[in-house]
Chains A and B, each alone.
Chain A
């Protein structure tokens, strides 16, 4: 066997795809040819390296969790289709959805949630807006960014429209309270962006500030609840 033939057959030999006579011929060749012997050993080393490439264990309870979610999917088809589409499209593990619940709600309990949750405020009012992020699995390092609309401020951060910080998100509910100061009568969205690794998710909360003289504004709780999807 020539070296060129031997080299061409090295991979098939290690993959155990060569017929026995060819495998024997190759073995005889490499026993005599130092170059081809080294090539065969290099290929073996390469395979060993690849085979030893580690896989980190999934997070604790992974198998039970994915099976449970699959089973639960049938009980809540709307939520599941959202989750399935969400994960397949963006491959995000972070799932959250906001729903504003008025204090004196006249909304029927089964009414659909608004597309963008809304917090109503009076001019110059300071109101704590509570956000709750429902996170399926712990995220050790995420970046949280806030983008404030022009007509409000975050108390303690005058003039700041954007804030960014790093935080860890535990599995389950994660609360964030934002003391919002209503400065102008207007409506606009507070944008909350959570990113980790190559992923990100953006949420909006509409901050609707009414003029101070608009008497009789019904009081609204600024709690923003989450629904786990």
Chain B
């Protein structure tokens, strides 16, 4: 055990880059998957980011709040890739890997099929969004980044993030064929609470 601990200490001492980055790789992969919509593309994106960051590891060590900094670097890389490729990263339906059970409990076959169908529809609708809209809606509504974190991560003013998020959701609802706030919640705009 003592030897193992010494080995770890030596490894860490030799590799501050891994020490800095390892804790963020899970979040980076999730964000990358939300951007790209495919596991292989998400893994490639994170790998490319790390390859670019490694030569700058000394600068990286000086960054105070690494998570939004890394997400911003990831997002910029993603946007660069999309622009360079001249296409949106996802077209049409996503792969089967996008479809996984929501809960640990086993749903009935009908419920499971319905859930998969809905998830596929959402994945397809997300793929219809622009890169900018997809970034805000996935990071905020799916990954739980708050508005301030999002503003930091995307290097945007808070007001811009809010309005972009609002438009992104509206567009997503439109892609899903939903009324604003769903059909069941359609409101008579003339109406008032009594």
- Decide yes or no whether B91 CB sits under 8 A from chain A: yes
Q: Closest CB-CB distance, B20 to chain A, in whole Å?
A: 10
Specify which chain B residues have a CB less than 8 angstroms from the CB of A90 in the assembled complex: 85
Number of A-B residue pairs with CB-CB distance less than 8 Å in the complex they form: 174
Residues of the A chain whose Cβ atoms lie less than 8 Å from the Cβ of B81: 88-89, 91
Q: Does A112 count as interface, using CB distance less than 8 angstroms?
A: no
Instruction: Contacts A39-B181, A43-B181, A88-B77 given; indicate if A50 touches B122 (C-beta within 8 A).
Output: yes
Specify which of A1, A52, A56, A199 lies most central, judged by the most chain B CB atoms within 10 Å of its CB: A56
Name the residue on B nearest A38 (C-beta): B185
Residues of chain B contacted by A47 (CB below 8 angstroms): 141
**B119 contacts which chain A residues (CB < 8 A)?**
53-54
B interface SS class = helix
A70 & B51 in contact (Cβ 8 Å cutoff):
yes
Given A55-B34, A66-B50, A88-B77, A71 contacting B15 (CB threshold 8 A) = yes
* 0 or 1 for each of A24-55: is its CB under 8 Å from B? (1 = yes): 00000100110110111111011101111111
A43 contacts across to B, CB distance below 8 A: 181-182, 185
Asked if B53 contacts A35 (CB within 8 A), the reply is no
Q: Does A74 contact B (CB under 8 A)?
A: yes
A58 to B30, CA, bound (A): 9
User: C-beta contact mask, A180-196 vs B, less than 8 Å → 1, else 0?
Assistant: 00000000000000000
> CB < 8 Å: which of B47, B173, B187 contacts A46?
B173
Residue of A nearest to B30 (CB): A55
Q: Is the contact region of chain A dominated by helix, strand, or loop, or is it mixed?
A: helix
Given A2-B192, A33-B193, verify A84-B51 contact (CB < 8 Å).
yes
Once the chains bind, are B39 and A38 in contact (CB under 8 Å)? Answer: no
CA–CA, A3 to B48, complex, Å?
A: 49
Are A63 and B185 closer than 8 Å at their CB atoms? no
The answer to whether the Cβ of A92 comes within 8 Å of any Cβ in the partner chain is yes
Q: Mark contacts of B93-116 with chain A using CB atoms, 8 A cut-off: 1 yes-contact digit, 0 otherwise.
A: 001011111100000000000000
Q: Within the complex, which residue of B17, B141, B185, B193 is in contact with A51, where a contact is CB–CB below 8 Å?
A: B141
Q: Give chain B interface residues in 46-61, CB to chain A under 8 Å.
A: 46-48, 50-55
- Shortest Cβ gap from A91 to chain B (Å): 5
Interface 9-mer from B1-9, B21-29, B66-74? B21-29
The answer to whether B147 has its CB under 8 Å from any CB of chain A is yes
Contact of A67 among B25, B42, B181, B188 (CB under 8 A): B25
Contact with A along B159-194 (1 / 0, CB 8 A): 000100110010001000010111011111101111
Minimum CB distance partner of A32 in chain B: B193
Q: Which of B98, B178, B182 contacts A54 (CB 8 A)?
A: B98
CB-CB under 8 A from B144, the residues of chain A are 51
Given contacts A36-B193, A66-B50, contact A91 B41 (CB under 8 A): yes
Query: Nearest chain A CB to B100's CB is how many angstroms away?
Result: 4
B147 to chain A, nearest CB (A): 7
What are 8 of the A-B contact pairs (CB < 8 Å)?
A7-B187, A33-B193, A35-B188, A42-B181, A51-B144, A54-B101, A70-B50, A91-B85
Which residues of B are at the interface with A, using a C-beta cutoff of 8 A? 15, 17-18, 21-22, 25-26, 29-30, 33-34, 36, 38-48, 50-55, 77, 80-81, 84-85, 89, 91, 95, 97-102, 118-119, 122-123, 126, 137, 140-142, 144, 147, 162, 165-166, 169, 173, 178, 180-182, 184-189, 191-194
